[in-house]
Amino acid sequence: MNTYVAFFRGINVGGNGALPMKELVAILGEMGAQKVKTYIQSGNAVFDSTEKNLARLSKQLSVGIMKRRGFEPHVHILTVEALATAIAENPFPEAVVDPGSLHLGFLASSPKSPDLEKLSNLRKESERFHLTEGVFYLHAPEGVGRSKLAARSEKLLGVPMTDRNWRTVCKVMEMART
């Protein structure tokens, strides 16, 4: 049995993609997942599964939601080890005192040709970012809602991204370890 973390994009946001967490737990259970736990309504889950192919698991979950709810969300699944690495590699450790200002964008794949120059040009003086193979770290002390960098980062990276703030990442990690 392997423990995985699933981050859903566009679940229960702005009245779109309605998926009660109880229903998500049921869908995961139908797929054979065990020990399913969810965190807040925006689509964060921790579960155990015998499946080893993360892409297949992600697709299966997305299709399961489509069958039940009529929409197919992007689902990013990663191992607990990968999440622990993303936390450990945080390039802005001083930012954790304001966990809402530090965001991790989990990338669907490694960007082939990200436009780092345009990303830098969009950056406010107070903002910082760092790109690794699987994570786009963004420290936006003035808030991501007003950040042009946050708004355009996915397009300029060229790959789908699912964003979580530091508080959520740490809470999901805590759930995965219990």
Model pLDDT for residues 110-164, shown as the tens digit of each residue: 999 999 999 999 999 999 999 999 999 999 999 999 899 999 999 999 999 999 9
Between CA 28 and CA 24 the distance in angstroms is 6
- Three-state secondary structure of 12-77: CECCECCCCHHHHHHHHHHCCCEEEEECCCCCEEEEEECCCCHHHHHHHHHHHHHHHHCCCCCEEE
Confidence of residue 42 (pLDDT cuts 50, 70, 90): confident
The residues facing 80 across adjacent strands are none
CATH of domain 89-177: 3.30.70
CATH architecture of 2-82: 2-Layer Sandwich (3.30)
Burial (CB < 10 A; 0-12, 13-18, 19+), residue 132, is middle
Contact of 151 with 133, CB cutoff 8 Å: no
Contact of 64 with 25, CB cutoff 8 Å: no
pLDDT at residue 13, rounded to an integer: 63
Q: Where in the chain are the domains?
A: 2-82, 89-177
Distance, first Cα to last Cα, the chain: 15
Between 12 and 133, name the one with better pLDDT: 133
Between CA 77 and CA 125 the distance in angstroms is 33
pLDDT at residue 113, rounded to an integer: 93
pLDDT at residue 41, rounded to an integer: 79
Confidence of residue 99 (pLDDT cuts 50, 70, 90): very high
pLDDT at residue 16, rounded to an integer: 67
